[in-house]
Amino acid sequence: MLSLLGTEYYFSIVAVMQAREVHQLPELRYLAIVPAFNEAESVAEVCRKLHRSLPQFDVIVIDDGSSDGTARCVPETAVCVRLPFNLGIGGAMQTGYRYAALNGYDVAVQVDGDGQHRPEEVIRLVRHLLSENLDLVVGSRFLEDRPHYRQTTVRKSGGWMLQTMIRMLTGLKITDCTSGFRATSRKVIEAFAHWYPEDYPEPEVILLLQRGGFKVGELSVRMRRRKSGQSSISLLRGIFYVLKVGICLLLDTARHPWPKIQKDTGAIDGPENIGASFRESHRDPQPDPAGVRWRSAAPGHPPTPPV
């Protein structure tokens, strides 16, 4: 009984400390983007924990063509966008970044829908992003030695190969370049809203952002193991993934680090031009021939219900 009371007291203290940290954040607009593919068993709990621990954050779930009823499990307090079919992590995340850009968010954090990413670590990512004046912060499982978190030999070898390539091509030492736990600034939100790599984009965007003049950093974080669902990367797909991403990294060094947005806006020369270019191209959007377009929410408008 005493041990139970002690545990409850401990978690109440942790909750108070987290609440104080949230209130210490600057008055900006924060968004947690949750890509989810067949995460019906965990997505509701992920959203509830985010809302409870991070009251300043809005939450959007991108249901990437799930077949297990993931969208029906998303709480009413979160926005849910259902993609008609599975686009992969690249398409899902670009959808989230477009939503963030069109609705004027200042900071966006990618949080997986399988429960691995801890809400209390989101605060640390955001504070590091803002205090160090960075554009992208990657949450790393391996920056510090954490004995409880182990990888298979295949995954560890693949991660080491990609880490070595990125360091050779950019000079950056990113120990967890495949981590999907990351926080982004407004400039990066608007850049990703224009274009985002497909398939498994996490290593590739590190190279592209560094070549584009953005500031990239890393922070040691704690993560949980998956509570449900299955990893999207099997053994064979993992081997193919390393080969494919390695080739993409090499090709990315031979082209402009960020593509042109529109012919009438010209090429993006650096990160300082991305925000202005995005806002200009979306200043007064016109309906497409089918009469459908994405309307941005008015300032102060309540959260959009699940769609």
Q: Is the dihedral of CA 180, 186, 188, 193 positive or negative?
A: positive
Question: Is the confidence at residue 7, as pLDDT, over 90?
Answer: no
Q: Is the pLDDT of residue 9 over 90?
A: no
SS3 state of residue 109 = strand
Segment 42-71 shows an average pLDDT of 95
Alpha helices, H only, 103-141? 119-131
Q: Which residues contact 289 (CB under 8 A, 6 or more apart)?
A: none
In the chain, what percentage of residues exceed pLDDT 90?
50
What would the pLDDT profile of 234-263 be if each residue is shown by its tens digit?
A: 567 778 888 888 898 998 888 776 655 443
Is 4's pLDDT higher than 70? no
Helix, strand, coil share of the chain (percent; to 5): 45, 15, 45
**Predicted pLDDT of residue 114:** 86
Q: How far apart are CA 72 and CA 76, in angstroms?
A: 10
Give the DSSP H or E segment for 90.
helix 88-102
21 band by pLDDT with thresholds 50, 70 and 90: low
pTM for this predicted structure: 0.77
Give residues with Cβ within 8 angstroms of 58, minimum separation 6: 29, 30, 31, 32, 79, 105, 303
> What are the tens digits of pLDDT across the range 260-282?
544 344 444 555 555 555 556 55
* CA–CA distance, 258 with 274 (Å, rounded to integer): 10
Report the chain's mean pLDDT, rounded to a whole number. Answer: 79
* Alpha-carbon distance values, 92 to 9, 74, 97, 107, 250 (Å): 39, 16, 9, 18, 25
Closest CA to 125 of 202, 209, 183, 59: 183
Residue 176 pLDDT > 50, yes or no?
A: yes
Q: Which helix (H) or strand (E) holds 60?
A: strand 57-63
Q: Which domains does the chain have, with CATH numbers?
A: 10-281 (3.90.550.10)
Tokens standing for residue 281? 């191209």
pLDDT of the residue at 295: 41
- Report which residue type is found at 84: P
